[in-house]
Amino acid sequence: MRLPLEWLGDYVDPGLGPQELATALARSGTEVDEVETRGVPDENGNVGTFRVGRVLSVEPHPDADRLRVCSVDLGEGEPRQIVCGAPNVAAGQSVGVALPGARLPGGRPPLEAASLRGVQSNGMILSEAELELGEDTGGIMVLGDSVAPGTPLGDVVPISGATLKLELTSNRPDCAAIYGLAREVHAITGAPLAPVDDSDPDAMGEGSVEDYAGLRVEAPDLCPRYMARVFTDVVVGPSPDWLRRRLEASGMRSVSNVVDVTNYVMLLTGQPLHAFDLDRLSGPEIVVRRAGAGEPITTLDGHDRALEDWMLAICDAERPAVIAGIMGAEDVEVGPATTRVLLEAASFDGPTTLHASLALGLRSESSGRFEKGLPAELPPRAMRIASRMLVELCGARMVPGTLDVAEPIPEIAPITLRAERQRRLLGADIDASESAQILRRLGFEVEEGEGAHEVTPPFERRADVTREVDLIEEVVRVAGLDLVPAELPRLPADGRRTPLQRLRVRLAERATGLGLSETISYRFVPEADSDLLELDGDDPRRQVVRIANPVSEEMAVMRRSLLPGLLRAVAVNQRHQRRAGGLFEIGKTYEPTASGLADEPEEIAAVLFGAPGAEGWRQSPAPADVFSATGLAMALARSCRVSLAVGGGGEPYLHPVRQAQLRAGQRTVGIAGEVHPSVLRSADVDGPVAFVSLSLAALLEAAEARPEFEDVVTVPVSTRDLAVVVPETVSSAELVEASRAVPLVRAAVIFDRYVGEQVPDGHVGLAIRLTLVDPGRTLTDEEIDAAVDRVVGALADRGATLRE
Amino acid sequence: MTNEHQLEELRAAALTDIAGAASLDDLERARVAHAGRKSAIAEILSGIGSLPKEQRGPVGKGANAVRAAIDAAIEERQGAIEAEELGSRLATDPTDVTLPGDAHPLGALHPITQVQRELEEILLGLGYRIADGPETPEIEDDFHNFDALNTPAGHPARSSSDTLYVEGHPGIALRPQTSPAQIRVMEREDPPVYVIHTGAVYRKDDVDATHSPMFHQIEGLAIDDGLTLGHLKGTLLHIARELVGDRESWFQAHFFPFTEPSIELYVEWTDRHGRQTSMELLGAGMVDPNVLRAVGYDPERYTGFAFGAGVDRLAMVRFGIPDLRLLYEGDLRVLEQFA
């Protein structure tokens, strides 16, 4: 909504500059996006340096053909000598004059008295263009004769203007109106509010409205009120300058006097109006009905549109003439030849208007107002104001009578405002009589009582203000939020993260500490992600939450895996010539349920691509592989004291062999491995990429509550290294498990692995370090040797032979 | 005849040579000369047995003292020479210390997470708890998304041009704001409630520099006996101070369907181009009685407030990130700046 302050000034003058007014409005709840200024700068008395002058005489300049030397009366006693270059200046004209010191629009330096080709000039006679009032018409602006010389020019023409661009909240359709904003300014500043002249003009037309048109409302549920009047002898033409300027300042285009009047009254009152060319309507009756499915209309903007059966249309005998509240049909619009006008003022259902305008992709100043819900009391006022303007500006004669079909309008019930409740909600004392005064300024009726007021909202606010708390809001926003003393409440408990929240923090810290950066992916993904992951046809992860109205096909379903999003991030980085790196994400996936809601398990997932890790002049990291993945998984899990065991995995999107299921005890916690080359190809990513995913819920269940101290300080620990050769088919995890099963062996770690000349084909050499300990005592050499022998035996059972 | 004078001379000569030794080799030569097996002092000591009995004591004592002094001087000089040699050896090390140090991979938390954490820390410090996980689903029903939040059917926010709905389940939608979490918490708990929630929300917006169909919000809720708008103001000012330091700030009245009265906190801000501007930091309000009623709280007895902010926007302002899309691409050139 644009608020030209010049127009506002018709009703209220708070004596504030544009910026101050903007601040006052913003603080009280009417957000101001921008303060636009136009014309003469309105500061430091500059506007006062522009005056009306009467040209007394015009003489040729002795030294310049195109300049004239004028004597101008500015009501100062002595006339001023002013040099003027305009061809149309003439004695007897009233003109606008800028005095020395004046600052003109456009940021030019102040005007100075100067000598022009040897003749002194003590001011400047102004054109419309110089004042930013209009186009350059090739000469000075000539004013009416009745203005006394010396009158401030701003009193005669709007030489300075500011327009506030407002961002209205959805609860205040009453502020989509100049007069509604005037009331608001009145309320917050206390400046007096002038009434709008909404008296009817004399009805000088012939006959009565029923002679010209009938009215039938078939859908009163969508149209609680419809009013129409008829005007004859209308002369369609251009609007007067002041009307044109106000519309333009309000962001609307001037069309013709009749259309401009409807728009002007809409801007003033908030009630949209529509003018029909009565002679272009078929049949004698206006019918307000639901449209037929597919019923066509060609709207004013030249588009052919098909209506739907729930939309409301204003029709003549044959066809829709207006999509109610949104836009009229091209062929019934008022045009230059129009002489008889039917003027509509109506109330339409807000949601229906909104949905129709969305469905048609057609928004207008009118629909924007109707969709928020306008009161049924408003049309008569708008109708009266517009009627007078049609009579006064368009030469129209108003036909006596008004067609008016209205549902009963419910009375507005008074609301009790308890002073105690107000104090208790605000934590501030605002005097009861001040509350009453504020509410009255906002147009509410207030019956003051002991400890409570009975308050009746004006009809403009009937939808917005229905409860005591709404009144309290009105009071405090107008009284000023600064009146409420700020105080920090005392809370009954200490804030603490839950185990799940601490887990998330720890995992993220560990992951960043390991050199991975966190990414956030869109959680809606292309449906084709299931195919990207090469999931089987019956894989349950093909069941997804599908979005009915997605933003795009790339955002069609909710993700079931974090991998595709991470791969897309890898692709982004590779496109930027980034060859290696690590990314992780902590977030939900979405498993649909029968109810339509979803299970939303959370996981941490990470990718390592290229040869991630530190690269330097004496460092070169190894390419990511399954061991990068399992190692990363272990490190992440350790951050919440979970030790993971690995086993073979069966994920279709990972390398068939180089993947490992991650377990804690019997619980499956996640998966780690190399992303399948064909998945990488589909994702347009260069390998290698290693992937890890861990379930937060599973980690949390597996996490040791508190690690117990193990005495490795006072008890001596013995280590023994074994070198063995085993067939490739024996997994190292098996050997470790077998070693650890031997009493006294606390740990068995594989610290080297080799293949090659010294090892037979199909075999690998492994080096295993055993740690032996018996808590509470020192082991003897004999005990250690016996235990190692048992380990060797256990390994031999699995095909391992000791190397010399 | 060995007398005191002779011993003193031996000692002085030895100490002079030792002090003058410039290298370990010099020092070794001095040691051989003055404390070696053939040195004068060694001879005196070995000749003690042949002295008359009454001279053995005084001479032995004197000679041993000289011998000890020489040994001590050698040891001290040796330490000094070794330190000097080490020093000069190290000083000529050819290493260029300006070569890069060993690289350690530095990962970064996402800027959104960083701001989220910071806000969480501030509110944990005030005594709020964090609601999240399964108790705050992102796919929500109409009741939690809208009805209970005083956003009735027909409200524009509920239209399919604003909110993303789940196919086949009318009324189930991706939550357009974090506020349904408030309802979830209040359904489960009785007052007093002091809780915050942060997370992703979804709107049907096209992606551009300032819009994203997925973004993040933080939400706070306090319901108790006797909470006022003044308490809300105090809480918001505290958050602002912790988050952006002492800055000029002010409140503006506003409108949200689920709070009444509703307010916004603005702070003065200098943008990335050095321009003086203002920033909307937090939106808030007193919880609407309709919301309290929807979860079975008695609005005559309990009052409370809710507040929230867009985390993405705060992150953009805080870090001077010019384009929202940069937050969702996983571009390490962007992310690693925040390590």
Interface ipTM? 0.86
Q: How confident is the model at residue B55 (pLDDT cuts 50, 70, 90)?
A: confident
The mean predicted confidence, pLDDT, of chain A is 92
Q: What are phi and psi of B332, to 5 degrees?
A: -65, -25
Asked if A572's CB is within 8 angstroms of B237's CB, the reply is no
How high is the pLDDT of residue B221? 97
Q: Report the alpha-carbon distance of residue A136 to residue A128 in Å, rounded.
A: 6
Name the residue of chain B whose CA is nearest to A172's CA: B255
How high is the pLDDT of residue B81? 92
CB B60 within 8 A of CB B4: no
Residue A743: count of CB within 10 angstroms of its CB: 10
Residues of B with CB below 8 A from A616's CB? 100, 102-103
Size of the A and B interface in Cβ pairs below 8 Å = 277
What CA–CA distances, in Å, run from A222 to A49, A176, A237, A363, A732?
A: 55, 22, 34, 18, 77
Asked if A470's CB is within 8 angstroms of B255's CB, the reply is no
> Could you tell me which residues come within 8 angstroms of residue A659 by beta carbon, excluding any fewer than 6 positions away?
A626, A648, A649, A650, A651, A671, A672, A673, A674
Of A481, A512, A595, nearest to B263 by CB-CB distance is: A481
Query: In the predicted model, is pLDDT for residue B302 greater than 80?
Result: yes
Per DSSP bridges, beta strands A517-518 and A581-588 are parallel
pLDDT mean over A492-508: 91
Q: Which of A549, A600, A632, A685 to mutate to test the interface with B (most CBs of B within 10 A)?
A: A549
Q: What is the pLDDT of residues A237-265, one digit of tens each?
A: 999 988 988 998 899 999 999 999 999 99
What CA–CA distances, in Å, run from B297 to A660, B182, B262, B291, B292?
A: 51, 13, 20, 9, 5
How many Cα atoms within 13 Å fall on the side-chain side of residue B329?
A: 19
Helix (H) and strand (E) counts for chain B?
11, 9
Residue type, B163: T
How high is the pLDDT of residue A689? 97
pLDDT mean over B156-176: 92
CB B171 within 8 A of CB B142: yes
Of A522, A569, A582, nearest to B107 by CB-CB distance is: A582
pLDDT mean over A307-325: 93
The mean predicted confidence, pLDDT, of chain B is 91
Query: For chain B, what's the residue count?
Result: 339
What CA–CA distances, in Å, run from A349 to A266, A353, A424?
A: 17, 6, 37
Q: Please check whether the two domains, A46-158 and A209-406, share a CATH topology.
A: no
Measured between CB atoms, does A769 come within 8 Å of chain B? no
| Among A422, A406, A290, residue whose Cα is nearest residue A356 | A290
What CA–CA distances, in Å, run from A264 to A7, A9, A234, A274, B60?
A: 11, 16, 17, 12, 129
| Among B215, B254, B327, residue whose Cα is nearest residue A168 | B254
How high is the pLDDT of residue B2? 58
Check whether domain A209-406 has CATH 1.10.540.10, yes or no:
no
Asked if A597's CB is within 8 angstroms of B172's CB, the reply is yes
Measured between CB atoms, does A579 come within 8 Å of chain B? no
Q: How confident is the model at residue B36 (pLDDT cuts 50, 70, 90)?
A: confident
Task: Match domain A415-479 to its CATH number in 3.40.190.10, 3.40.640.10, 3.30.56.10, 3.10.450.50.
Answer: 3.30.56.10
pLDDT mean over A370-383: 94
Q: Report the alpha-carbon distance of residue A497 to residue B248 in Å, rounded.
A: 32
How high is the pLDDT of residue A424? 94
Calculated CA dihedral for residues B119, B120, B121, B127, nearest 10 degrees: 120
Q: Report the alpha-carbon distance of residue A633 to residue A619 in Å, rounded.
A: 23
Query: In the predicted model, is pLDDT for residue A671 greater than 60?
Result: yes
Query: What is the topology classification, in CATH, of domain B111-338?
Result: BirA Bifunctional Protein; domain 2 (3.30.930)
CB A581 within 8 A of CB A609: yes
Residues of A with CB below 8 A from B231's CB? 427, 487-489
CB A96 within 8 A of CB A153: yes
Burial track A172-204 (b if 16+ CB lie within 10 A, e otherwise): bbbbbbbbbbbbbbbbbbebebeebebeebebe
CB A455 within 8 A of CB A440: no
pLDDT mean over B282-309: 96
How high is the pLDDT of residue B72? 92
Residues of A with CB below 8 A from B174's CB? 524, 547, 558
Query: What is the topology classification, in CATH, of domain A499-702?
Result: BirA Bifunctional Protein; domain 2 (3.30.930)
How high is the pLDDT of residue A130? 85
Dihedral sign for Cα A254, A259, A261, A263, please: negative
pLDDT mean over A269-289: 92
pLDDT mean over A193-221: 95
> Could you tell me which residues come within 8 angstroms of residue B208 by beta carbon, excluding any fewer than 6 positions away?
B324, B325
Query: For chain A, what's the residue count?
Result: 804
How high is the pLDDT of residue A679? 97
Q: What is the pLDDT of residues A578-628, one digit of tens each?
A: 999 999 999 999 999 999 999 999 999 999 999 988 888 888 889 999 999
Measured between CB atoms, does A513 come within 8 Å of chain B? yes
Per DSSP bridges, beta strands A718-727 and A763-772 are antiparallel
| Among B30, B44, B12, B143, residue whose Cα is nearest residue B78 | B30
pLDDT mean over A381-390: 97
Residues 439-478 of A with CB under 8 A from B: 467, 469-470, 472-473, 476-477
Dihedral sign for Cα A245, A246, A251, A256, please: negative
How high is the pLDDT of residue A379? 97
Query: In the predicted model, is pLDDT for residue A310 greater than 60?
Result: yes
Asked if A477's CB is within 8 angstroms of B100's CB, the reply is no
Ranking A196-210, A293-307, B46-60 by mean pLDDT, the lowest is B46-60
Q: How confident is the model at residue B63 (pLDDT cuts 50, 70, 90)?
A: confident
Query: What is the topology classification, in CATH, of domain A718-802?
Result: Alpha-Beta Plaits (3.30.70)
Q: What is the pLDDT of residues B169-181, one digit of tens each?
A: 999 999 999 999 9
Asked if B231's CB is within 8 angstroms of A481's CB, the reply is no
pLDDT mean over B191-196: 95
Is the bond leading into B111 cis (omega within 30 degrees of zero)? no
> Could you tell me which residues come within 8 angstroms of residue A53 by beta carbon, excluding any fewer than 6 positions away?
A72, A73, A74, A80, A82, A94, A95, A96, A97, A123, A125, A149, A150
Q: Report the alpha-carbon distance of residue A18 to residue A37 in Å, rounded.
A: 8
Q: Report the alpha-carbon distance of residue A542 to residue A550 in Å, rounded.
A: 18
pLDDT mean over A418-433: 94
pLDDT mean over B15-27: 90
How high is the pLDDT of residue A131? 85
CATH of domain A2-40+162-189: 3.30.56.10
User: What is the distance in angstroms between the Cα of B264 and the nearest Cα belonging to chain A?
Assistant: 9
pTM for this prediction: 0.84
Query: In the predicted model, is pLDDT for residue A684 greater than 90?
Result: yes
Q: Report the alpha-carbon distance of residue A20 to residue A43 in Å, rounded.
A: 12
Q: How confident is the model at residue B284 (pLDDT cuts 50, 70, 90)?
A: very high
Query: What is the topology classification, in CATH, of domain A46-158?
Result: OB fold (Dihydrolipoamide Acetyltransferase, E2P) (2.40.50)
Helix axis angle, A432-441 relative to A468-479, nearest 10°? 90
How high is the pLDDT of residue A37? 86
Domain residue spans of chain B: 4-91, 111-338
| Among B115, B329, B335, residue whose Cα is nearest residue A515 | B335
Residue type, B71: D
Domain residue spans of chain A: 2-40+162-189, 46-158, 209-406, 415-479, 499-702, 718-802
Q: With helix as H, strand as E and coil as C, how does A669-713 read?
A: EEEEEEECHHHHHHCCCCCCEEEEEEEHHHHHHHCCCCCCCCCCC
Residues of A with CB below 8 A from B162's CB? none
